[in-house]
Structure 1
Amino acid sequence: MLHSIFMLIVNAVASILAGVMLLRFWMQVVRVRPPQSVGQFVYQLSDWLVKPLRRVLPGGAYDWASLLGAFLIVVLATVAAVGLQSGFDFKIIFLLSLERFVEWICYGFMATLIIEAIFSWVNPYAPLAPFVRALNEPLLRPLRRVIPPLGGVDLSPLVLLILLQIAVRVISTLLFALL
């Protein structure tokens, strides 16, 4: 019981920290400036790890330190979950971390798509709506070229959600085949 409570806490903290670092990376990739409240939250929660990593991995066009920081957090959470049971087998920990990392990236994209859909239904003029739309636009743009709106309804977010779920399953299957 204590182990499951410990893992719940570790997974909650790790998913928040890694999610914030992935958001920081994606904001730079799409070159979107976050609203002040979101920016303060993201930078204050991630600077403790990103700034030291930038000394080792200097930035360029992309914030690689944020991406590496997110992966390191996933590795630490995986070590806490599996390392104690597997005897710290490096191959198992690495492959599970990689699978979890890709899952969290896909789940992050799914979350922004769902948030954008909610904004479009409830309040398309909400202050965060343009920010979320800008985060999703690079992923939706190629699909919108192929999938026309049907009856004025844009189905590309739904198609992207399905494609992301397929990606999670395919990558999980491929990585588990390597174990």
Structure 2
Amino acid sequence: MEAIRFIVGTLLQVLLVMVFLLRVLLPLSRADSRNQLSQAVIRMTNPLVLPLRKVLPPIGKVDTASIVALIIVQAAAVAMMWLLGGYPGIFTPAQFIQVVFLMLVTTVLRFYIFALILYAILSWIAPGTYSPAASLLDTLCEPLLRPLRRIIPPLAGIDLSALFAIIILQAIHIAIT
């Protein structure tokens, strides 16, 4: 049963919720919508986002339909894991909402920690080369790294801002959980 919970949890949380999280983050970070990976995210999430968009128009640059779709998918993932016994006990509605938002925040933190690790590795292995994934990572990570680069200058030509960003995000993750 534990293996089934792991597989279902991974598919729901890592794949499905992450795709909808990307749907929210890509426009906020002004990612290139013509990027192949951006197009894949848009196509995968359109079946839920487009009907919601008819009811929930965007507010400025914030796509409310994508945010609501992300919350719906996260709530469905939490409910599925609860049904499989992944969360002990019975939830009250307030506890359910709390777990959904806590899982959403931890997912965002984990996503950025992983993205920053990939960003740092790519900057060491293949600096200056173009790929759709590297372009997307650059667009997603730069808003986090830019303020840190103002505070922490490169040390002997080595940019340590990603390391400090990972430490800060990990500390926030530990404090929340």
Same fold (TM over 0.5): yes
Residue 59 of structure 1 aligns with an amino acid whose one-letter code is P
Q: Which has a greater percent of helix? A: 1
Give the aligned partner of residue 107 of structure 1: 110
Give the aligned partner of residue 54 of structure 2: 55
1:19-168 aligned within 5 A: 19-34=18-33, 36-60=35-59, 61-82=61-82, 85-124=88-127, 125-128=129-132, 129-168=134-173
CA RMSD of aligned residues (A): 1.8
- The separation in 2 between residues aligned to 1:52 and 1:8, in whole angstroms, is 31
1:42 CA drift (Å)? 0.5
Greater displacement, 21-30 / 10-19: 10-19
Preserved CA contact (<8 Å) 1:34 1:131? no
- The separation in 2 between residues aligned to 1:13 and 1:68, in whole angstroms, is 20
1:150 CA drift (Å)? 0.9
1:98 CA drift (Å)? 1.1
Q: Does 1:169 align with 2:167?
A: no
1:35 CA drift (Å)? 5.2
Preserved CA contact (<8 Å) 1:24 1:66? yes
Preserved CA contact (<8 Å) 1:79 1:88? no
Preserved CA contact (<8 Å) 2:26 2:38? no
1:149 CA drift (Å)? 0.9
The count of corresponding residues between Structure 1 and Structure 2 is 170
- The separation in 1 between residues aligned to 2:7 and 2:65, in whole angstroms, is 25
